[in-house]
Structure 1
Amino acid sequence: MEILLVGCGKMGGAMLRRWLDAMPARFTTVNRSGRALPPGTEHVAGHEALAGRRFDAIIIAVKPQQIPEVMPDYADLLADGGCYVSIAAGYSTGSLANLLNNAPVIRLMPNLPALIGRSVNGLFAGPACADLHRELADQLARTTGMAVWLDDEDELDRLTAVAGSGPGYVFEIARSYIAAAEALGFTAETARSLVLETMGGAIEMAARSDQDVAELRNSVMSKKGTTEAGINVLRRDGQLDDLLRDTTRAAYDRAVELR
């Protein structure tokens, strides 16, 4: 199978590394940035170098704002029976199909832990897609983590707000938590280790447990103890709930704007 990857930034590169290890396909990448690419990949600088070639699948990995300018140049490179798979946030299957000769389009919304095989991938297939297109997209997703097929495109944009953008929220929370540990007197190196190991252990414990996370939280607290004192600050006036609700809503609203 011949697959073309248009764009190879952080997300596209992370997924490509997993695909190269697990998929029986030959990958060609279009990458103008000069970013180092993994071995086993053919690289070209633009569509001009691909004249006369056809690909069984073309993966769209450019920024959503670049799609109207970049992707029409690739509209004639799709082989008969092929499909486009877009990992660009927000840009709808309908808008993509309008740019790409009404070809079959699947949206695959990953997140950055694809690099370690722990991506949460949401998928939605446009109306022109056949079972073989869905099977290919499912394989692309499961090679990098879990695959969740969604019934409508709005649900995919909501998943983007929670999971697609989610690692960014987690990293920002970790950054703030590390800064708080430093403010208590730990070195930057020790603060980072303490926070990341604490967060990693807690998340793994929650993932392995059947208990509700609120129950797990309560299991850490003793009446008038240190954890309760900290939790009372975190939950003051519902500020944390409001902040995360506003965070995911802002990401979802932006995904809607990009359609």
Structure 2
Amino acid sequence: MIGIVGIVIIFAMVFGGYVAAGGKMGIILKALPFEMIMIGGAAVGAFVLSNDLPSIKHTVKDIGKVFKGAKWKPSDYRDLLCLLFELIRLARQNPVAIEEHIEAPENSSIFGKYPKILHDHEAVEMICDTMRSASMNYDDPHQVEEVLEKQLEANYHHAMHSSHAMQSIADAMPALGIVAAVLGVIKTMASIDQPPEILGKMIGGALVGTFLGVFLAYGFIGPFATRIKAVVDEDAHFYKLIREVLVANLHNHATNICIEVGRQNTPHHIRPSFSELEEALKAVKSEAA
């Protein structure tokens, strides 16, 4: 919703100010389709040229993040802590019983309580792989933390590709606008024998290309890239929480302490309160009993 509000403000302020200053929309609207074909088409072509098909699909999908915001909400962090609590407690009470949950999480009664987390391949894989490694005596907390950190960095780098791709196009848009404007000037020079009022309109139409390139770059594509980066950064905290809790578990802290370590390392605006988490954990314990 906030993304739509931003778009409305951009259009209202730019074109509202232009009209209020006495500008006429007719010349812009007349030139817009042709300039948009040149600039937008060139931008799309450059984007396709510089990315492979999976990256293109990934970027198109990530545009939705501008309007949807972060995937993980505060309630999801609470659910994640409850899930990790159940898994760690079971692994300590019955190391054999935990195997069915980490080997086939899609059939797990524990993972099944948290469908949103279960459907996230990255989160489930990180949890299951780490707990499986611990059951195979790969339980040095420093080595495991290093492995998880590298995994997080790789996943983050992949998630940031959309932002980088869109920023590259944003950087190119002003230059593409100049290309369209130059073509308009060439067209104007070919009609130099026309009256001044006609030449003025033709030059104005050519300048629409420069305006459009700069407007799209700094008003839309650049902010889209920045917003996608902000959402990726926000969602990265979810996976960092998994790392914190699982590493604390390998240090053989009490289960409640492991969960509290994860809670305290979560940014304040998405961190469940101590009392809220305590109530959720009590519900988990009573259900298990």
Pairwise TM-score range, normalised by the shorter structure: under 0.3
Query: Which structure has greater helix proportion?
Result: 2
The alignment's TM-score, normalised by the length of structure 2, stands at 0.20
- Highest relative contact order (Cα 8 Å, sep 6+), 1 or 2? 2
